[in-house]
Structures are given as C-alpha cells and as structure tokens.
Structure 1
C-alpha cells in the first residue's frame, strides 16, 4: 500500500485548515480586531492538535473511528464512532453549499445551482475513488499554487496603494469580549478542531513519529496565513471588513497597477475552489473509510457514489440562501451542537478513559 509522505501530510493539513476560511475571512464580528482572534485561536489550536496526537499515540495503528471501540467496547464505541462519518458527510454538504453560493453570486450568476453543485460533487467523487494516494498528490499539487498566489497578491496589493496602516487602529477598541466570542467556540473549531478528521489518515503515513511535528507546523503556518489575510483586509477596509461576505474576493477587486493589472477577483474564486476541493475530498474519503472500517466491508469504493449523492442532496437543501447557511446553520446549530461535542467533548472523554486504562495496566 502506498503511504503518505511527510511533505504530503504537511500539504494536506495546511490546505485543509485553510479550507473555506480563506475566502470568507475570519472573525468578522470582531471588526478590526479579527486578526487578534485568529492569533489566539491558532495558539489554542496547538493544544487541541496535541490532544488528538496523544490519542493517536495511545492507540497505535488505529484510525479515529477505531479508537472508540478499542477503548469503550463494541456496544458503546461503535455507535459513538459512527457519528464521525455522518459529520464528515454533512461537512461535505456544507462545502458544496459554499461553492454553490460563492460561484453563483460571483462568476456564474445565470448558471443553475444544481449544475454548479452537481459538477463539484462529481469531481469530489472522482478524486475519492482514486483513494488516499490521489488525495495526497492533490495536496502536493495545490500547496505551491496557493502559496504563489498568496505572495503575488501581497505584492500587487502593496503596489496598488490601498493599504493604510491606520485602519488597524485603535486596537481592542471594544475590549476583549468581541475577540473572545470569535475565538470560542467557532474560532478554534473551524479548521483547527476539524483537523481531527486527519486521524483517519495518520496511520497511513510513512513516518508516524513525524505526525506531531508536521501537523503542529501546518497549524501554526495556516493560522499565520489566515491572520495575514485578515490584516490585509483590515488595512484596506478598516472596520468595514466585518460587512463583507467575501472579503478576499472584494479585496482582489481593488488591485490596480497602471490600469493594466486589474480585476483579479478570479484569484479569489480559484483560492476557494482549490482549498474547498481538497477539504471536501479529505472529508468524503474519511467518511467512506470510516464506514468501511466500522462495518468490516472489504473496500470503500462501493460507498463513494451513495455518499456523494447524500452530500449533494444536503448541499442543495440545507439552506435557502447564504445568510441562513452561515448564520443560522453554522453559528447557531453546527458549531455548538455538533462540532463542540464531537471535536472537543468526546475526544477529551476518550483521552481520560484511555489514560486511565493504560494507567491501570
């Protein structure tokens, strides 16, 4: 079996954590202090990721969905473990809805939503059908493109004369409360807490002893990159940053050098398409692998088409518009009632139980 290299693991983790955060911006409710919220979230994320890796080391050779039966037994552990593939499928549906709304409101306003969503779902299914190797190569290919686009964007924005340092001031004008509301629970769950899905792939790495170092490095760098994106947006828009649904897309529309280099919004769409594709493929592959392992199926390929169809259905029906999709389903339902229990509470309980069982032995 082909295993994931250290570089491929770094690429997958880094791009996965950027995900859709890179286009929607981070912590808009904190206004010009959003970048502080991202920095704090990134620092706290280091401890969250270390918790996940501690669980991996306590359960050597086992994936995320195998941890629970191993520690809680089959009758309790399997039902709990099944919650994760279901969450992964729902997350793919959310990303499909993100793509549907972003593409239809920016570059293809007259294209039927089902066509946009369906095409994206087909691409996801095609990549997942290729297995872990395809996902690893996809991350390997996307990483340098995203980094190159990022540095080009910084250079072009600097040359356009739209960055104003005074827009960052005053710092913490409204105190710490808006910042902490951004940090918990949404700041540390989105992207950082979601890293738990990669525990489905950690046993497939060539050098398991490097997982901790690589994952922490990717976490710090992705957090730094999102922080820098927030800073760039605030330098341009000031406190108005919080009023934009797609701040990166709007930011790129302001680039103008010599009336020659202009209208680079397509960069923003490419950012989202590449990072969202990898994130959704990782989620989908983790979902089908998880179901396969929990049901003792011989292979997971037979699950790809049904799983993709379910995610497509969810993506098309979970919300009527972008406002309901983000504010109602994400902040009011998904984060407190799905992500916090599955990404924090259950892993914390599992860590305590595993530690006590090992202590007893």
Structure 2
C-alpha cells in the first residue's frame, strides 16, 4: 500500500483546518477582539492536538477507531469507536449544508439546494474512490494556489487603502470574557479538535515519528492564517465585523484599485470551495475507513455511494437556513452534545486510561 509523505500530511492538515472557517471567519461574537480569540484558541487547540498525537504514539500502528478497543476492551471499546465514523458522516452533512447556504446566498441565488449539494457530493464521491493518496496529491496542487490567492488579497487590500488601525481600538473593551467564550470550547474544537479525523490516516504516513511535529506546525500555520484574515477584516470593518455572516467574502468586495481591479469575491469562492472540498473528502474517507475497520470489510469503496447519499440528504434536511444551521444546530446541539464529549472528553479519558495501563500496571508487573 502506498503511503503519504510528510509534506502531504502537512498540506492535508493545513487545508483541512482552514476548511469552512476560511469563509465564515472566526470569533465574530468577540467583535474587534476576534483575532485575540483566535490566538487563544490556537494555544488551546495545540493542547488538543497533543492529546491526539500522544494517543497515536501510545498506540503505534493503530487508527482512531482501534485505540478504544485496544485500551477499553472489545465490549466497551467497539461501541465507543463506532461513534466516530458516525460523527464524521454527520459532519460531512454539515459541510454540505455550509456549501449549500454559502452558494445560495452569495453566488447562485435561485439555484435549488439539491443541485448545489448534488454536484458537490458527486465530486467528493468520485475523488473518494482514489483513496487518501489521491487526496494528498490534490492537496499538493491546491496548497500553493491558496497561498498565492492569499498574498494577492493582502497586497490589493493594502493598495486599496481601506484598512485602518484605529478599528482595533479599544482592545479588550469588554474584557476577556467574550474571548474565552469564543475560544472555549468552540474555538479549540473548530478547527483543531476536528483534526481527530486525520487520526484515521496517520498510519498511512511514511514517517510516523514525524506526525506530532508536522501536525503541530500545520496547526500553527492554519491558526496564524485565520488570525491574519480576522485582522484584515477588523482593520476594514471594525466592530461591524461581528455583523457579517461571510466576512472574508464581504472583505474582498471592498477591493477597488483604479476602478479596474474590483469585485474579487471570486477569490472567496475559490478559497471556500478548495478547502471545503478537501475537508469534505477527507471526512468522508475517514468515516468509511472507520466503518471498514470496525466491521472487518476488505474494501471501503463499496460504502462510498450509500454514505454519500446519506450525507446528501442530511445536508439538505438538517436545517432550513443558515441561522438555524449555525446558531441553533451548531451552538445548541453539535458543540455541547457531540464535539465536547467526542473531541475533548473521551480522548482525554482514553489518554489517562492508556497511561495507567502502560505505565502503572507495567511497573507493578
């Protein structure tokens, strides 16, 4: 079986963490202090990444869904492990809903939801047949494009003269409370806690001893890039930043140089589709590989079509609009009842149990 290189792992992790955050922005509820919220979230997110990668090192050669049976036993570990591919499949439906809402409200206003999601899921399913190696090569192609588009965006914004440093003042106007509210637990789980998805592919890397270092570096880079996006948006919009649903998309609309270079929202679309597409495909592959290993199937590809159909219908039906999708489903259901238990609590418990079994019991024996 072919393996992905260290560079490919870095690229996949980086783009995966940008995901849909690249278009939705980050920490809007913190207002002009959103960039501080992102830096705090990055620090907390690194701790989460350390938990995941430490578990990987303590369970060499095993994927995420194999950690739990290995430490908890088959009767307890397998049912818990099944929660993760189910979570990943549900999360794929959420990403499809993100794409649906963004496209229908910014680009294709009268296009039916099922057409937008249908085209997107067909492309995802097609790439999923190639496996993680194909996605890794796709990530290599997308990565430089993201950096180039980002650089062009920053340069054009500077020449447009729409950024003002006064928009950052006063810093910490409302204290640290709004910042911590954004950073914990939402900021540390999205996008960093979501990276547990990649634990399904760490066994497919050529240099497993470098996984912890590469994942942390990629997380720092993605966190810094999201912070820069927030800084750019705040420098232009000030406190109004918190009122925009798609601040990056709106930000690109402010670029105007000589009445010639303007209306560059297409950059926002390219950002969003490239990162959301790779994140969606990796999420689908992680779910399928999890089911494959837990059920004992020889090939995950037989599950691609039924899983894609399920994700498609979830994306269509889980919410009626963007407000319900984000402010109700995510804040009231996904974050407290799915992400906190599965991305934070269970991995921490697993780490403690693994440490006790490997250190304490080993000393006694």
The interval holding the TM-score normalised by the smaller chain is over 0.9
SS where residue 38 of structure 1 aligns?
Answer: helix
1:297 is matched with 297
2:163 is matched with 163
2:278 is matched with 278
1:114 is matched with 114
Counterpart Cα distance in 1 of 2:345 and 2:3: 31
1:300-322: per-residue Cα shift (whole Å, max 9, x none)?
00000011111101000000000
1:10 is matched with 10
2:327 is matched with 327
Structure 1: runs of 5 or more not aligned? none
Counterpart Cα distance in 2 of 1:97 and 1:45: 25
With normalisation by structure 1, the TM-score equals: 0.99
1:235 is matched with 235
Deviation at 1:47, TM superposition (A): 1.4
1:224 is matched with 224
1:51 is matched with 51
Deviation at 1:44, TM superposition (A): 1.4
1:81 is matched with 81
Counterpart Cα distance in 1 of 2:79 and 2:26: 34
1:318-357 matches, cutoff 5 A: 318-357=318-357
SS where residue 174 of structure 2 aligns?
Answer: coil
Deviation at 1:83, TM superposition (A): 0.2
1:166-245 matches, cutoff 5 A: 166-245=166-245
Structure 2: runs of 5 or more not aligned? none
SS where residue 340 of structure 2 aligns?
Answer: helix
Counterpart Cα distance in 1 of 2:224 and 2:142: 18
Counterpart Cα distance in 1 of 2:128 and 2:69: 26
Deviation at 1:107, TM superposition (A): 1.1
1:309 aligns with 2:336: no
Deviation at 1:185, TM superposition (A): 1.0
Counterpart Cα distance in 1 of 2:166 and 2:132: 47
Counterpart Cα distance in 1 of 2:209 and 2:326: 38
Q: RMSD of the alignment, in Å? A: 0.6
Structure 1 stretches of 4+ with a deviation exceeding 6 A read none
Deviation at 1:48, TM superposition (A): 1.1
With normalisation by structure 2, the TM-score equals: 0.98
Counterpart Cα distance in 2 of 1:74 and 1:135: 32
Counterpart Cα distance in 1 of 2:147 and 2:206: 25
Counterpart Cα distance in 2 of 1:275 and 1:332: 26
1:107-164: per-residue Cα shift (whole Å, max 9, x none)?
1112111000000010110111111111111111111111110010000000001000
